Amino acid sequence: MNAPRASQAPNAPEAADAPGAPGVPGALGVPEDRLLRALDAVTAERAEDAVLSVRGLTVRFRLRGGRTVDAVSDADFDLAAGECLALVGESGCGKSVLASALLGLLPGNAETSGTALLADPDGQGGTDLLAADEKTLARTVRGRRVGLVPQSPAAHLTPVRTVRSQLEETVRALTGTSRRARRATAEEAAGRTAFPADHLDRYPHELSGGLAQRAATALALIGDARLLLADEPTTGLDRDLVDRTVDELRRHADDGRALLLITHDLAAAERIADRVAVMYAGRIVEIAPAHRFFGPAGPRHPYARGLLDALPDRAFAPIPGMPPELTDLPGGCAFAPRCPRATDLCATRPEPAAGVACHHPEHPRA
């Protein structure tokens, strides 16, 4: 649904630029309203075969003194079997909080609302991850139906046990593999993430950041969970290992599972993602097919364009200004103080329409 439009400021884009304006040819030569309806249809079709269906996911943290952190607001997305969705955005925009909410790993001062339906493997119903109790999450969800590559692998690993011991314990708990085969299965998992076999008997404090990352990724792959949440899985890796790691994660999704890749590494997202979701100040401001997002058409939201233009191999032009404090978000578009396309209309919050939440989105580049 398009947001209601007020009269525009003198420097506003023309009204005919409005998404959904009937019959207006877009840069691709297709009338804009037809293009938007097609995009909506794709979204609806995706919802039917979704492994994960998130609607209105909102997370607030209550602070002492009555202040509130609006960490995630009204996130909507679907993730289908065989699909990789990359969730990108600057640090602190709410990406990791969203992943923690899906696994019930938020601190006690968090308030969560919305739904996150994880489909049952047989396709008959599912589990609302936001409503599930701790027992359900611990016994049937974490590691089994939803795997996590954590953002802080060193803190995730048990400090008093070797990597081999932790891998074998995870194999035992999640797969029931016989004792004899456990060692080989653990070594195979390590091999999938290029963790060196001669480091398997080391303790976490004896590992570099990159090796700890690879160990944590190997642990996450063991259960073959239908949904994998990978939160900055390439931290501390050099480019060759980044490519190898994300390719392995992609293979996980290619086998009929789903992957939510949370990353600030746009090159990694471009390499493996089917779609890209961009978060800013706790909101998803654009979801687009990866080929359009990274291709000549480009993203439509000004913030998403800014993210790409900041890359060294593109314009290498940083977005001016800083993101707003999540304790003091404006009533309208949170990107307005940094946005070159802002008008008076942007004092009203833009609702998502055809994958983009912006009053004056860019047309796809020709």
Smallest distance from ligand SF4 to CB 333, Å: 3
In the chain, beta strands by DSSP E: 50-62, 68-80, 84-88, 110-119, 126-128, 146-149, 227-231, 258-263, 275-280, 283-289
Q: Does 346 bind ligand SF4 (CB under 6 A)?
A: yes
CA distance 334 to 31: 30
Residue in 148, 221, 281, 339 binding ligand SF4, rule: CB under 6 A? 339
Q: Closer to ligand SF4 at the Cβ: 13 or 236? A: 13
Residue in 130, 272, 279, 333 binding ligand SF4, rule: CB under 6 A? 333
Q: Closer to ligand SF4 at the Cβ: 164 or 360? A: 360
Angle at 19 between CA 18 and CA 22, to 5 degrees: 85
Q: Closer to ligand SF4 at the Cβ: 108 or 318? A: 318
Residue in 350, 352, 355, 364 binding ligand SF4, rule: CB under 6 A? 350
CA distance 258 to 250: 9
Smallest distance from ligand SF4 to CB 24, Å: 18
Q: Does 358 bind ligand SF4 (CB under 6 A)?
A: yes
Main-chain dihedrals φ then ψ at residue 322, nearest 5 degrees: -130, 155
Residue in 164, 192, 360, 363 binding ligand SF4, rule: CB under 6 A? 360
Please state, in angstroms and as integers, the Cα–Cα distance from residue 224 to each residue in 217, 227, 232, following that order. Answer: 12, 8, 19
Q: Closer to ligand SF4 at the Cβ: 222 or 336? A: 336
Main-chain dihedrals φ then ψ at residue 32, nearest 5 degrees: -60, -40
Which span (116-124, 165-173, 187-195, 336-344) binds ligand SF4, by CB under 6 A?
Answer: 336-344
Residue in 335, 352, 353, 354 binding ligand SF4, rule: CB under 6 A? 335
Q: Closer to ligand SF4 at the Cβ: 329 or 358? A: 358
In 120-257, beta strands by DSSP E: 126-128, 146-149, 227-231
- Listing DSSP states for 315-355 in one string gives T--PPSS-PPPTTS--SS-TTGGG-TT--GGGGSPPPPBTT
CA distance 101 to 54: 11
Smallest distance from ligand SF4 to CB 54, Å: 22
Residue in 282, 302, 306, 352 binding ligand SF4, rule: CB under 6 A? 302
Which residues of the chain form contacts with ligand SF4 (CB under 6 A)? 301-302, 333, 335-336, 339, 341-342, 346, 350, 358-360
